Amino acid sequence: MSERQVINISTEEAKRQTDIIHILSQSLKGKNLKYCVSTFGCQMNARDSEKIEGMLEEMGYEKITKEDEADFVIYNTCCVRENAEMKIYGRLGHLKTIKKKNPNLIIALCGCMMQQDIVLETLKKKYNFVDIIFGTYNIYKLPELLQTRLETQESVIDIWDSHQDIVEDLPNTRKYNFKACVNIMYGCNNFCTYCIVPYVRGRERSRELSDILNEVKALVADGVKEVMFLGQNVNSYGQSLSTPVSFANLLSEVSQIEGLKRIRFMTSHPKDLSDELIEVIAECDNVCKSVHLPIQAGSTHILKSMNRKYTKESYLELVSKLRTAIPHIEITTDFIVGFPGETEEDFLDTLDVVEKVKYAGAFTFIYSKRTGTPAATMEEQVPEEIVKKRFNKLLTLTNDHILENMKKYVGQTVEVLFEETSKNDKTVLSGRTDTSILVNVKAPDTLIGHFAQVKIVATKTHYLIGELVE
The pLDDT tens digits of the residues spanning 201-216 come to: 888 889 999 999 999 9
Q: What three-state secondary structure class fits 208?
A: coil
Are 289 and 318 contained in the same domain? yes
| 342 and 221 together in one domain | yes
- Judge whether 112 lies within some domain: yes
> Which residues fall within 8 angstroms of residue 341, CB to CB, at 6 or more apart?
301, 302, 305, 378, 379, 380, 382
Residue 258 sits in a domain whose CATH number is 3.80.30.20
Residue 9 reports pLDDT greater than 60? no
Cα–Cα distance measured from residue 354 to residue 264, given in angstroms and rounded to the nearest whole number: 24
Residues 254 and 187 in one domain: yes
Paired with 262 in beta bridges are: 226
Q: Is 11 helix (H, G, I), strand (E, B) or coil?
A: helix
Q: What is the pLDDT of residues 269-309, one digit of tens each?
A: 999 999 999 999 999 999 999 999 999 999 999 999 999 99
What's the pLDDT band for 31 if we cut at 50, 70, 90?
A: very high
Q: Is 283 in the same domain as 418?
A: no
Q: What is the mean pLDDT of the chain?
A: 92
Q: Would you say residue 310 has pLDDT above 50?
A: yes
As for how many domains the chain has, the answer is: 3
- Grade residue 114 by pLDDT with cuts at 50, 70 and 90: very high
Is residue 297 in a domain? Answer: yes
How far apart CA 379 and CA 311 sit, in angstroms, is: 22
Same domain, 420 and 388: no
> Are 371 and 461 in the same domain?
no
Portion of the chain with pLDDT greater than 70, in percent? 97
Which is higher by pLDDT, 163 or 356? Answer: 356
Q: How, if at all, do strands 179-183 and 226-230 pair?
A: parallel
Q: CB of 24 within 8 A of CB of 147?
A: yes
Does residue 163 sit within a domain?
no
Task: Indicate whether 379 belongs to any domain.
Answer: yes
Displacement of CA 383 from its chain's centroid (Å): 30
Together in a domain, 152 and 226: no
Return the bridge partners of 265, or none.
229
Domain boundary among 388, 407, 426: 407
pLDDT of 164: 63
Q: Is the same domain home to 208 and 102?
A: no
Kindly report the CATH number assigned to the domain that includes residue 85: 3.40.50.12160
DSSP labels, 252-312: HHHTTSTT--EEEEE---GGG--HHHHHHHHH-TTB-SEEE---B-S-HHHHHHHT----H
Same domain? For 138 and 76 the reply is yes
| Helix or strand holding residue 107 (H, E) | strand 106-111
- Whether 40 maps to a domain, the answer reads yes
CA distance 99 to 67: 10
All residues at 6 or more sequence positions from 332 whose CB lies less than 8 Å from its CB, including other chains: 290, 291, 292, 293, 359, 360, 361, 362, 363, 436
Q: What is the pLDDT of residues 157-202, one digit of tens each?
A: 998 876 666 777 777 888 899 999 999 998 899 999 999 888 888 8
pTM: 0.84
Reported as a single tens digit per residue, the pLDDT across 56-71 is 999 999 999 999 999 9
> Exposed/middle/buried for 232, CB within 10 Å: 0-12, 13-18, 19+?
buried
Q: Does 397 lie in the same domain as 284?
A: yes
Residues 387 and 418 in one domain: no
- The domain containing residue 248 runs over which residues? 179-407
Per-residue pLDDT, 8 = 42
